[in-house]
Amino acid sequence: MTDHPPLAAVVWPAGQKSLLLRILVEGGVLPRAVLRASAEGAGRLIVETESFPEAVVNRFEAAVAAGKAEDSAAGFYRFASVFFSRLADFRQAWAPAGGDETHLLVARGDLRAAPEIWMRRVLAFLDPSGVPAEEEVRALVQVADQVLKSEPPPDLTAFRHYEADRFAKLERVSLRRDVVQDVFRKFMGRDLDEHGILHFQALASVTRLGEALAKTPEFARRKQRWAASSAERTIIHLHVPKTAGTSLNAILSSNWPAGSILEAHTGDLEPLESLSQEERRKLRVIRGHLQYGLHTMLPQDVVYLCVLRRPGPRIFSFYRYVQRMTTHPLHDVVVQQNLGFGGFLSLAAGQRPDLRNEIDNGQMRRIAGHLTAGAIPRIETFQTAVQHLFAPNMIFGLTEHFSLFLAKLAEQNLLHLPFEMEQNVAPPGPDYASAVAGLTPEERAVHDDFCSWDEELYSMCKTFLFGPSTSED
């Protein structure tokens, strides 16, 4: 028999025993000596979850019996909406994204649907160095069939509040109730009615939720009410580095008198702080590497402008900018250490928090108003960035569609003069795809982590502007 490291299982909902562990023990694959009563001290961990509809029906029945839930269809679906947070908490605590070599994530519905696939998977999990023998797999599948038949799933269609379409949504629920309410409130300026919450919880991600809300007539009307007064407000350009922001600054300068334009940057707001309230009121444009929130220092209404770019190419462009600009604070470090793109990423991840602030999902955090990396949980920062981007006082565009963004500003009377210009354009050099292909696995992991939330934000904005089928330029 193969020697196995200590093994334990955690099961959701709590109080149940692992079907997979039972199969392994009854199939003679695992001696009881390697099992642990808790995850502590276990070398490998099985993370097993019951299907959400089955779990919520069982817990609802218990809550009704205890007088803690209203026994009605409306009461059940509200209970389900709230109860999902417990599954989300369990996944966050026990289930690394996609699993890893020490965690095997098992959904009971999948186990019942394809026991042979899962027997092969669990044997490989227990002994990654070998290939399970076919007779071992077949013998374990027979045991699995017997165990699964002895513990059949409940017939959900017999549940008194069963509705096929709503139970189909329960199968797909992936968003917490509070997250849906928060995003909806930020888009629409009001709370979501109870009957709509479960529908939005069944969307695949916060990005899909934002896309759905951004397409509603209610949101369009809310944007139009603010667009009508855009020309009367002070422009604040949140200049995200390497997104055509220098070109936008030049265009703004050609459209507004020099005396009405102020340049300031996060960390150096003295040019604005030194002005009186009356002097601030006369400003037409404030520009610079700013983060959201400057409107709180002004007595007048504002309109924020920002341009987003695909995060990977933006980070690479920033790296090349540091390489060639001798005045940049990091130029000497990059050149003297002969840092390639991967070394640049590793530098940001380890030794230079100032650099990390800019390239670790820096677009999201600048727009959220939380530029310091790690200061606020990323999901909260993402939700705040979404709120700000889709607020009525924000106009955003994409670097890859810069001319369309300028046309939108002209339509809203924020630009008047011709704007055929480009500034701060990088000279020809290595391309992004080649640079990424040359990264080590560790460097690629840093790259992907630094781009993950910005990619979500960019994709949401692109879909809002051009629809889901638009290809990249």
Same domain? For 121 and 236 the reply is no
Same-domain status, 121 and 99: yes
Give the chain's largest Cα–Cα span.
84
Lowest mean pLDDT of 33-37, 93-97, 147-151, name the range: 33-37
CA 70 to chain CA mean position, Å: 35
CA distance 235 to 253: 12
pLDDT at 429: 58
Domain contains 128: yes
Q: How confident is the model at residue 1 (pLDDT cuts 50, 70, 90)?
A: very low
Final residue belonging to a domain, choices 132, 158, 184: 158
Q: Which residues of 295-330 are buried (b: 16+ CB within 10 A; e: fewer)?
A: beebeeebbbbbbbbbbbbbbbbbbbbbbeeeeeeb
The kind and range of the H/E element at 278 are helix 277-281
Q: CB–CB of 209/183 below 8 Å? A: yes
Same-domain check for residues 242 and 208: no
User: Above 80 in pLDDT, residue 20?
Assistant: yes
Could you report the per-residue pLDDT of 412-430, keeping only the tens digit for each?
Answer: 888 876 555 455 555 555 7
- Is pTM, for the whole model, over 0.85? no
Cβ neighbours of 77 (radius 10 Å): 22
Give the pLDDT of residue 415. Answer: 82
* Sequence letter at residue 357: N
pLDDT at position 35 is 63
Least confident segment among 32-36, 184-188, 213-217, 358-362? 32-36
Verify that 345 and 207 share a domain, yes or no: no
Query: Of 106-110, 187-191, 309-313, which gets the smallest average pLDDT?
Result: 187-191
One domain, residues 249 and 168: no
Residue 325 lies in a domain: yes
> Which tens digit of pLDDT belongs to each residue from 428-460?
557 899 999 999 999 999 999 999 999 999 998
Question: For the chain, how many structural domains are there in total?
Answer: 3
Question: Do 196 and 128 reside in the same domain of the chain?
Answer: no
Question: Which of 106, 97, 141, 143 minimizes the C-alpha distance to 12?
Answer: 106
| One domain for residues 326 and 457 | yes
Task: Please report the beta strands in 2-160, taking only residues with DSSP state E, as ranges in sequence order.
Answer: 7-12, 44-49, 103-107
> Looking at 158, 187, 203, which one is the last position of a domain?
158
- Chain segment 322-360, per-residue pLDDT in tens: 999 999 999 999 999 999 999 999 999 987 888 999 999
pLDDT digits (tens, 9 = 90+) for 379-409: 889 989 998 998 889 999 999 999 899 988 8
Q: In whole angstroms, how far apart are CA 246 and each of 85, 323, 439?
A: 44, 18, 29
Residue 1 counted as domain residue = no
Whether 472 is covered by a domain: the verdict is no
**Is residue 2 assigned to a domain?**
no
Same domain, 179 and 148: no
Q: Which two tokens stand for residue 151?
A: 């513990």
- Tell me if 121 is assigned to some domain: yes
| Residue 458, in any domain of the structure | yes
- Summarised one tens digit per residue, pLDDT across range 365-378 is 999 999 887 778 88
Residue 74 is part of a domain; what is its CATH number?
Answer: 3.40.50.300
Range of the domain at 55: 7-158
Structural domain ending residue among the three candidates 216, 243, 258: 216
Q: Specify the CATH number for the domain of residue 362.
A: 3.40.50
Do 64 and 210 fall into the same domain?
Answer: no
Residues 291 and 192 occupy one common structural domain: no
CA distance 228 to 392: 11
Highest mean pLDDT among 124-138, 224-238, 358-372 belongs to: 358-372
Is residue 471 in some structural domain? Answer: no
H/E element, 220: helix 217-227
In this structure, the answer to whether residues 127 and 181 fall within a common structural domain is no
Contacts of 445 (CB under 8 A, 6+ apart): none
Same domain, yes or no: 389 and 318: yes
